Amino acid sequence: MKITEHAVGVRSCVSWVLLCSLCLAAESTRASTLRCKFSDEQGKVLRNVETRLTPVGTEDHHFRKSNKSGEVVFPDLRQGSYELMAQLKGFVSVKRDVGITGDQSVNQVLMTEKAFDRLESEALNAIKDEQFPKALSALQKLVTNYPDAAEIHFNLGLAYAGLQQEEKALTEAAKAAQLDPQFADSKDKVQGALLREQGQNALKKQDFTTAADAFEKWVKLDPKNDQAYYGLALAYGHQGKISEALAAANKALELSPKNDSYLSVKQILETKARKK
């Protein structure tokens, strides 16, 4: 009797497990709905936005246009990864990945071309002028609205490098390379920017050993970069390594023959060499 009851209990447990499995399977295959709402940077809804939703790795495109409320609805979606593209005349188009695990909503801002270009120009000029906090502020506004734009992530990497936030800088470089093969060398470029800042900061502190180490690594990483050799010439020169400094200065001039700063440093080093 006990054996029979036990057997019935086992059968009941097995049936329950099978039922749960069927419920989970049904849940995983249940169709989902994606709702996308589009607006500009001032929050005004955008109608007639042309959108395309595609399961990653397929050509099964779903096309829609946003309605008067700025909304697009994609029903009957299977779980998985999708690529969402949206465009509207006068606005910067967006491409982003969307993971569907159930019904969900996405609020997407499309920036006007004028607003986007203004922020991008502000960021690039700030990086050039080494005003890295200003560059970071502009780029963070851009990446919020365009999270899958490789160029924005690359420039974020340069801004973080300028601020000597190495982990964030390299993370952004890796993201840029992941999003677009054209940015495959992002890590090396951002690493070079990190070394440049390390070297320049060490020169300001008159820590010439640390400066030389940073510029040596930069030269090894990017042997065609004239600024790396120039920094190395300065570091070696202050250490009294005149012959090594001259060699670095000559290399900098070879790569950038019309640079007056390089020529001036070379002349100073030559004068010191003659006095020895």
Average pLDDT, integer, range 163-191: 96
**Is the pLDDT reported for residue 162 higher than 60?**
yes
Residues 216, 264: one domain?
Answer: yes
**Same domain, yes or no, for 153 and 232?**
no
- How many beta carbons lie within 10 A of that of residue 67, not counting itself? 14
From residue 75, give the alpha-carbon distance in Å to each of 52, 66, 115, 145: 13, 14, 33, 24
First to last CA, the chain: 108
pLDDT over threshold 90, residue 245 = yes
Q: What is the pLDDT of residue 30?
A: 74
The rounded distance, in Å, linking the Cα atoms of 110 and 3 is 69
- Containing structural domain, residue 265: 206-276
Closest CA relative to residue 199, chosen from 189, 190, 209 = 209
At residue 26, the pLDDT reads: 46
116 alpha carbon, distance to own chain's centre: 17
CB 45 within 8 A of CB 37: yes
What pLDDT sits at residue 29?
58
* Mean pLDDT on 239-244: 95
- Give this prediction's pTM: 0.80
In whole angstroms, what is the distance from residue 262 CA to residue 233 CA?
9
Q: Is residue 13 part of a domain?
A: no
- Whether the CB-CB separation of 183 and 154 falls below 8 Å is answered with yes
Inform me whether the pLDDT recorded for 246 exceeds 60: yes
245-268 b/e with 16+ CB inside 10 Å = b?
Answer: bbbbbebbbebbeeeeebeebbee
Instruction: Give the pLDDT of residue 17.
Output: 47
Average pLDDT, integer, range 101-106: 93
Query: Within this chain, do residues 78 and 119 fall inside the same structural domain, yes or no?
Result: no
Residue 193 lies in a domain: yes
Count Cα atoms within 13 angstroms, Cβ side, for 40. Answer: 14
- What are 188's two structure tokens? 């090396």
Same domain, 213 and 173: no
Residue at a domain's end among 155, 170, 205: 205
Residue 24 has pLDDT above 80, yes or no: no
Mean pLDDT, rounded, for 198-203? 96
Total count of domains within the chain: 3
Pick from 178, 205, 232: which residue ends a domain?
Answer: 205
Q: Does residue 13 register a pLDDT over 90?
A: no
Which CATH number characterizes residue 197's domain? 1.25.40.10
